[in-house]
């Protein structure tokens, strides 16, 4: 087994950790939840590598060209966990 990002067979353990750091919901493998013990996960979407990492205060996301993950990021964003919390007057969005 080789690492999908760097094609290095020495990174088998890294690949297994990445696979184990997310789990699919029962909705056709389109929604994912990061394992509570995982700090980060790489996701490849066509020609873009997406790096999602948990921080002490929230989540940061960086986008890189596939195969050039050590280059400067193409784009990035972050959000605080407190921004995702609902207060007693908020209602979750309708899901139909």
Sign of CA dihedral 62, 68, 72, 74: negative
pLDDT tens by residue, 7-46: 554 455 555 555 555 554 444 556 778 888 889 989 888 9
What is the rounded distance in angstroms from the CA atom of residue 44 to the CA atom of residue 42?
7
What are the sequence ranges of the domains in the chain? 9-84
pLDDT of 63 reads 96
pLDDT tens by residue, 76-89: 999 999 998 877 77
| Residue of 94 and 24 predicted with greater confidence | 94
Q: Where do the H-state alpha helices sit in the chain?
A: 12-20
pLDDT of 72 reads 95
CATH architecture of 9-84: Roll (3.10)
Residue 18: CA count within 13 A, CB half-sphere? 17
pLDDT tens by residue, 55-74: 999 999 999 999 999 999 99
pLDDT of 13 reads 54
């Amino acid at each position: 087994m080789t690492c999908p990002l760097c094609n290095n067979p020495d990174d088998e353990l890294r690949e297994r950790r990445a696979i184990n750091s997310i789990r699919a919901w029962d909705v056709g493998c389109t929604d994912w939840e990061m394992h509570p013990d995982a700090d980060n996960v790489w996701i490849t979407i066509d020609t873009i590598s997406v790096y999602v990492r948990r921080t002490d205060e929230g989540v940061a996301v960086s986008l890189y060209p596939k195969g050039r993950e050590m280059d400067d990021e193409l784009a990035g964003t972050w959000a605080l966990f407190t921004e995702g919390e609902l207060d007693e007057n908020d209602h979750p969005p309708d899901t139909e």
